[in-house]
Amino acid sequence: MAAVTYLTRLPLWILVSRRPRPHPRLERVIEQIPIAAFAAIVFPGVLQPGGSTDLDPSNLYLYAALVTVAVAVASKRRVLPTIAAGTLTAVLLRLLFGP
Amino acid sequence: MSARPGGPPRSEVTAGIVDSLPLGLALTPVGLAFGYLAYTVGLSWWLAGLMSAVVYAGPSQFIAAGLVSTGAGTPVIVATTFVANLRYSLFAASLAPHMRDAPRGRLPFVSHAVADGSYAVTLDHALARPERPRKDQYLLGSFLMSFAAWVGGTMLGALAGGVVPAAIAFGLAFATPAIFIAFLVPYIRDRVAVVVMLTAGIGTVAGNEFLPPGAGPLLAIVGASVLGGALLSRPTPR
């Protein structure tokens, strides 16, 4: 597992760091990677909390996510208040409405 | 602090450590959860910690532990790990252009630091502060914080088992989506960004339902990025 994971990290890391700027078209694709990557973590984290899709209103992470987005916007991208608000909201919702 | 000629600018390492403090806070409970899962599938605390140290790729480790519990063989686990972690190639391609002033000999070592969280923090830093030197040192600092949280959390979780109260555990499990919401929100500035976000997010959710583990996020990230790049490269502007 360690070896194949290292293989996923190394080749492009070395290759791209030694090259001049890529073609503008490719550069525009590369610029989208963070957006796509973070969405690929957030969406399943909220919509598939136990591993299977849960779009039911009883999925408390849906509300915690809304609060987190609001705090992220309001705090102007400050990470610490955002995760603190999100995590505390999830704990409180669970205490109030959880099983 | 001034950089000695030829020596590493230490202040960049420190900056990486400090800026990654929230990330460390978010990663610790995930480490605890992985350690506990590793314990339940029969890994000792030190083996679980070693896995977190040398693989250092959270999502694939959860998938692997799940596969172990279903009795999957080594080839399946290794192949799945490779597919699940191929997105690090994309992260590397996205972050490497900011590493041009790094000594070549260091890059193979720092590549181990390319993981979801440190990638987010370091890219953020590189885009916001392009004038600062040695982003590899910054990445190293971010790695040190993440590594301590992830590996420490794993070993604690495996040793302590399920001692965390359910409501707290439920909230801590939300730390990962929460921190990546914080990373994601600043990027959502135009319509193309919204399309990329929805395509990757919904694509991943659908892929997790219907595709082998690890394949969904990879395909969704590639597909959404190519789509976004194509939209931005259209001849007529938005």
A66 contact B CB<8A: no
CB contact under 8 A, A33 and B221: yes
CB contact under 8 A, B55 and A5: yes
Mutation site, A19, A69, A83, interface B, largest B CB count within 10 A: A83
Domain ranges in chain B are 10-172, 188-238
Distance CA B58, CA B69 (A): 17
The model's confidence at residue B6, banded by pLDDT at 50, 70 and 90, is very low
On the question of pLDDT at A1 being above 60, the answer is: yes
pLDDT digits (tens, 9 = 90+) for B179-232: 999 999 999 999 999 999 999 999 999 999 999 888 999 999 999 999 999 999
The model's confidence at residue B43, banded by pLDDT at 50, 70 and 90, is confident
On the question of pLDDT at B4 being above 50, the answer is: no
Residue B202, C-beta contacts closer than 8 angstroms, at least 6 positions apart: A43, B220
Pick from B120, B90, B229, B227: nearest CA to A27: B229
Mean of the per-residue pLDDT values for chain A?
90
pLDDT digits (tens, 9 = 90+) for A35-62: 999 999 999 999 998 788 889 898 999 9
Pick from B65, B3, B50: nearest CA to B213: B65
pLDDT of residue B3: 43
Amino acid at A24: P
The model's confidence at residue B27, banded by pLDDT at 50, 70 and 90, is very high
CB contact under 8 A, A6 and B111: yes
What is each CA distance from A22 to A15, A19, A43, B96, in whole angstroms?
11, 8, 30, 12
DSSP string, B173-188: TTHHHHHHHHHHGGG-
CB contact under 8 A, A64 and B114: no
CB contact under 8 A, B93 and A94: no
- Our CA-based measurement puts residue A56 at a distance from the nearest CA of chain B, in whole angstroms, of 15
Q: What is the pTM of this model?
A: 0.87
On the question of pLDDT at B26 being above 50, the answer is: yes
Nearest CA in chain A to B96: A17
Distance CA B145, CA B111 (A): 16
